[in-house]
């Protein structure tokens, strides 16, 4: 890697700064230099690492991987109500394979352009495949969506559908890629769409927010802990795609929607009175329960019976 490192960076990663005005100096110096954010804004920073074989199947297409790596980081910004500003990429590669790198750079460039976020620097090393992205966003001062603001009486919402990515992983694992629902589900896994207009619309309205990366139960629990409240979830109200239901059947689909990770949907709490206005603006949001006093999370069915979930999300350790 040592000999070709600089050529590699130059060939694949130097041109993804998109000519954005905030980039004073991008790839090629000791640090990237960025203009300070707009007056009245704060910076939001986050980082996420994808490890081959852990966070994605070993043989995943390079362009899909790049899109997903950036998407999961963008999702963190959105869950904070922040907008994209810049990102860096630290990549560890087993070999410098030109085809793989070209695919990766193509996917990354496509995604960066779609969300108008420049790649401003990074690090390149040799080793088992790992992709680390460090992302920078900006958010109006004092308006970031925190995990800690949920209060008793708030309703709990999810944007879009849950469980699709877990179903996709199942299709990949079982090799059932000819399944007619595979294209939709794989797209949801590899390229979760991040809706920044929703994150922005939730500023000043939502009392808390998180993106669903480890599974609804696990991630909602983070809100509950940070906010020192409990929740009741109605499992019959979980938004599920027809594709998920066809692939999993009712029981399995519910398990995926509750415990499956990788969906990168927003889960947030707010007063129910705001829901109609958001729906009228075209946001697909579903009320899945409400915040209660105490601690912990209780799942129930539409007729009020307690529903015991099969698992509580993906825990790394
Ligand atoms: P240094 O030794 O100062 O850390 P490097 O040799 O690691 O510098 O990197 C040279 C330049 O290329 C730096 O501007 C760095 O940010 C950038 N860079 C390295 N790897 C990547 C990458 N994978 N993607 C984008 N920029 C990169
Ligand atoms: Mg370096």
What is the per-residue pLDDT for 48?
Answer: 94
Instruction: State the Cα angle at 144 between 141 and 145, rounded to 5°.
Output: 160
- State if residue 69 touches ligand 1 by the CB under 6 angstroms criterion: no
- State if residue 131 touches ligand 1 by the CB under 6 angstroms criterion: no
Confidence of residue 309 (pLDDT cuts 50, 70, 90): confident
H-helix or E-strand containing 42?
strand 41-51
CA of 124 to the centre of ligand 2 (A): 7
Asked if residue 221 has pLDDT above 50, the reply is yes
By most ligand atoms within 8 Å of CB, the mutation choice from 2, 27, 30 for ligand 1 is: 27
Nearest residue to 223 (alpha-carbon basis) of 238, 235, 239, 212 = 212
CA distance 133 to 225: 27
pTM of the predicted structure, to 2 decimals = 0.94
By most ligand atoms within 8 Å of CB, the mutation choice from 121, 125, 127, 130 for ligand 1 is: 121
Asked if residue 90 has pLDDT above 50, the reply is yes
Nearest residue to 150 (alpha-carbon basis) of 289, 297, 294, 291 = 291
What is the per-residue pLDDT for 311?
Answer: 65
Distances (CA, A) of 217 to 73, 256, 258, 307: 20, 11, 6, 13
Which of 78-114 are b and which e, b meaning 16 or more Cβ less than 10 Å from the residue's Cβ? bbbbbbbbbbbbbbbbeebeeebbebbbebbbebbee
CA distance 13 to 5: 11
CA of 257 to the centre of ligand 1 (A): 39
What is the per-residue pLDDT for 312?
Answer: 56
Residues with CB under 5 A from ligand 2 (ion): 123
Query: What does the pLDDT look like over 13-47, one tens digit per residue?
Result: 999 999 999 999 999 999 999 999 999 999 999 99
């Amino acid at each position: 890697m040592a000999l070709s490192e600089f050529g590699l960076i130059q060939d694949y990663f130097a041109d993804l700064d998109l000519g954005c005005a905030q980039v004073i100096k991008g790839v090629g110096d000791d640090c990237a230099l960025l203009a300070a954010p707009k007056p009245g804004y704060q910076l939001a920073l986050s980082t996420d690492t994808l490890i081959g074989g852990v966070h994605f199947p070993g043989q995943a297409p390079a362009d899909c991987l790049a899109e997903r790596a950036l998407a999961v980081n963008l999702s963190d910004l959105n869950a904070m109500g922040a907008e994209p500003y810049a990102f860096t990429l630290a990549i560890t590669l087993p070999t410098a394979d030109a085809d793989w790198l070209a695919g990766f750079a193509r996917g990354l460039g496509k995604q960066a352009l779609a969300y108008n976020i420049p790649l401003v620097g990074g690090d390149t090393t040799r080793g088992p495949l790992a992709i680390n992205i460090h992302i920078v966003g900006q958010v109006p001062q004092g308006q970031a969506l925190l995990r800690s603001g949920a209060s008793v009486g708030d309703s709990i919402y999810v944007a879009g559908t849950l469980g699709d990515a877990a179903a996709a992983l199942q299709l990949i694992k079982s090799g059932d890629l000819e399944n007619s629902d595979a294209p939709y589900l794989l797209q949801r896994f590899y390229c979760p769409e991040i809706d920044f207009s929703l994150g922005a619309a939730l500023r000043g309205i939502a009392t808390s927010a998180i993106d669903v990366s480890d599974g609804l139960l696990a991630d909602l629990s983070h809100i509950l802990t940070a906010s020192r409240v409990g929740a009741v979830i109605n499992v019959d109200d979980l938004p599920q795609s027809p594709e998920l239901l066809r692939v999993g059947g009712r029981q399995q689909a519910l398990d995926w929607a509750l415990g499956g990770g990788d969906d990168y949907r927003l889960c947030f709490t707010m007063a129910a009175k705001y829901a109609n206005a958001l729906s009228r603006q075209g946001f697909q949001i579903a009320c899945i329960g409400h915040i209660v006093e105490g601690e912990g999370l209780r799942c129930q069915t539409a007729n009020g019976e307690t529903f015991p979930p099969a698992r509580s999300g993906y825990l790394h350790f």
